[in-house]
Homo-oligomer: A and B are copies of this chain.
């Protein structure tokens, strides 16, 4: 379900020529590196763009959302392919709550009179768009049932800052229905916040300024959302926990005990419905009240007002609350040396409708990868560790397939999993990459080795160029001179989340995009016709994804010493901590300034007195927090990483037994980053460094327990969490010392 938003932050790269030397193969001896390079060359030559196109066409030929015949047929197809390519493959079946629409009514009460169409119009230019009988209606999955009528309020993105702005305008959403535009947060945040503020219903629409004619010509002339397009999507409260709402924290296998749906903490209490901009326009036109701030306005040819009313909305929704089977396809290629060390590679295959882009483009690249890897093994490549390919079902509803699988197999995974490599929707453009920072160095080694198909430079160089051109001033200069590509931290929005954040498996997420913008996301127009015209014509970036992800799989599978780099991890976490400490100082200074502005009546005096304006209330001053535990922990980690770094130079020349012992310790390090109690109010998330933000959804929060306590101005909690995080890091450092000890033993 992931939509790639290109990160505009912290990306840079080595401007050396693409790595033709074996120095770029960390964890390999020179001779093994030479061999690995040869196999990777063969690997590349086995990848076929046309076949990727064929996979995409076949798997997206019909709507195939969770629980449909076509979804099961795709699973069987994938299963048969894995078997054909030499894998031991099976389908693991789970179960999950999956509501689908029974009744959807949305209309205005008042002027203008309007009943929403709630249907996307099929196009003759898009061959599969007319499969209306097989398409899921436009809806937000896990909306509550409801029949509500109330004055409408426009809440912009529906994020916390927007509710503060509404407070300034004297607008309350209690007892009202809110209309929010997509974007600026994960969609599930919008109805949750509406509910928290007392709204009785929520409408979400795609504004053409974000996703329509403002961005470019609309489909089918261009790639952008036309006036009937609707973004479906889940509104399960994933930041609380993903997976089946009825089995929080454990796998929903056959006959598993389930909680009552009414008690599922990650389900909404209010109805929510996504609509097109054609459907949204009359509702927005019916609003009076103040004209909204400039950055709230969209591209409809109207004046955007906040309301409330005078127009009212009547929203009536009923769902079939079925439990459906979830089919994960699992394929294994056993490693000759370390069969119980698993390199896991996954991509989901379920879609909201036809899903040519999301997720089939990524799935097809993974299949192409798996086929080629199978070929290499047949051709005699020695596979050291076990590779596990996973085609996930039910990702769109809330990472159902991957979460239930991880929860069910947690013990085995924590024992065996070396790393998890994820992809999802993929398209033309620039590399997007995020993950555990122990894998950052490996990411650097791989991405200077893969060529961008459009420009011929490495994908790392192209990514750097894009980052440099989009930066300004000091940041631009830093990016130009940087010789390391920084990878992003991971939040949520795809299947890496349970691996990384629930059971502590070092993960990486890879995709290309940025030149593939369009409005097809989660609509009937995410089709083969759309994909092959606008997303990745020729499927060259499918090949590039296979080259990149395949290298992760193969290097991790064959490295003699696992190429985990702890210095990258230390320096990244140290940056997070330093930044957070600075943030507190800035909050203190800003709070002082704002309180002075309030006290001296600047807000009131600057305001137009003919408009309602309620000045903000003074906030409590920001205290000085004690960050010493965290700072000492990081100092210890710095020492430990340096010592390991130094000792590790001898690793490749150590006896096998030592190397084996070392590797087993290395891939367990990420587990050390889990805290037993998990995050405050959402213990499913156990990683102390990375989590999706409670108020951003997909967007990451690093050092989440501490950062969110600070953002919520809960100083007591912040201080407690600071100590807990420091303990995690201290233990992690001590664990690393043990690995160093192994190298020094003899």
| Residues of A in contact with B (beta carbons under 8 Å apart) | 15, 208, 213-218, 222, 224, 291, 297, 299-303, 429, 454-455, 457, 461-462, 465-466, 468-470, 476-477, 480, 515, 593, 596-597, 600-606, 608-610
Within 8 Å CB of A605, what residues of B?
A: 455, 457, 461-462, 465-466
Within 8 Å CB of A224, what residues of B?
A: 303
Contacts A214-B297, A215-B291, A216-B291 aside, 11 further interface pairs with beta carbons under 8 A come to A213-B302, A215-B303, A218-B303, A429-B608, A461-B605, A468-B597, A468-B606, A470-B606, A480-B593, A480-B596, A480-B602
Within 8 Å CB of A604, what residues of B?
A: 455
Q: List 15 A-B contacts (CB under 8 A).
A: A213-B303, A216-B291, A222-B303, A224-B303, A299-B301, A455-B609, A461-B605, A462-B605, A465-B605, A465-B606, A469-B602, A476-B593, A480-B593, A480-B597, A515-B610
Task: For the complex, give the distance between the alpha carbons of A610 and B602 in Å.
Answer: 51
Whether B301 lies near A208 (C-beta < 8 A) is: yes
**In the complex with contacts A608-B515, A609-B454, A609-B455, A465-B602 CB distance below 8 A:** yes
Whether A303 lies near B455 (C-beta < 8 A) is: no
Task: For the complex, give the distance between the alpha carbons of A356 and B684 in Å.
Answer: 66
In whole Å, how far is A178's beta carbon from the nearest beta carbon of chain B?
22
Identical copies of this chain, number: 2
In whole Å, how far is A208's beta carbon from the nearest beta carbon of chain B?
7
Within 8 Å CB of A215, what residues of B?
A: 291, 303
Whether A469 lies near B603 (C-beta < 8 A) is: yes
Task: For the complex, give the distance between the alpha carbons of A303 and B216 in Å.
Answer: 5
Nearest CB in chain B to that of A217: its residue: B303
Whether A466 lies near B217 (C-beta < 8 A) is: no
In whole Å, how far is A441's beta carbon from the nearest beta carbon of chain B?
23
Task: For the complex, give the distance between the alpha carbons of A303 and B300 in Å.
Answer: 12
Within 8 Å CB of A299, what residues of B?
A: 299, 301
Task: For the complex, give the distance between the alpha carbons of A301 and B469 in Å.
Answer: 30
Q: B213, B216, B455: which contacts A301 (Cβ < 8 A)?
A: B213
Nearest CB in chain B to that of A302: its residue: B213
Task: For the complex, give the distance between the alpha carbons of A302 and B217 in Å.
Answer: 8
Within 8 Å CB of A15, what residues of B?
A: 600
Task: For the complex, give the distance between the alpha carbons of A603 and B470 in Å.
Answer: 10
**In the complex with contacts A299-B301, A301-B208, A515-B608, A465-B601 CB distance below 8 A:** yes
Task: For the complex, give the distance between the alpha carbons of A468 and B480 in Å.
Answer: 36
Task: For the complex, give the distance between the alpha carbons of A218 and B222 in Å.
Answer: 32
In whole Å, how far is A232's beta carbon from the nearest beta carbon of chain B?
24
Q: B303, B454, B477: which contacts A593 (Cβ < 8 A)?
A: B477
Whether A301 lies near B303 (C-beta < 8 A) is: no
Nearest CB in chain B to that of A452: its residue: B605
Within 8 Å CB of A429, what residues of B?
A: 608
Nearest CB in chain B to that of A290: its residue: B216
Max chain B Cβ within 10 angstroms of own Cβ: one of A213, A303, A480, A604: A303
Within 8 Å CB of A600, what residues of B?
A: 15
**In the complex with contacts A217-B291, A480-B596, A468-B602 CB distance below 8 A:** yes
Task: For the complex, give the distance between the alpha carbons of A468 and B224 in Å.
Answer: 40
In whole Å, how far is A467's beta carbon from the nearest beta carbon of chain B?
8
Whether B303 lies near A606 (C-beta < 8 A) is: no
Task: For the complex, give the distance between the alpha carbons of A300 and B302 in Å.
Answer: 10
Task: For the complex, give the distance between the alpha carbons of A302 and B469 in Å.
Answer: 28
In whole Å, how far is A307's beta carbon from the nearest beta carbon of chain B?
14
Task: For the complex, give the distance between the alpha carbons of A515 and B611 in Å.
Answer: 10
Task: For the complex, give the distance between the alpha carbons of A215 and B597 in Å.
Answer: 27
In whole Å, how far is A128's beta carbon from the nearest beta carbon of chain B?
25
Task: For the complex, give the distance between the alpha carbons of A465 and B291 in Å.
Answer: 22
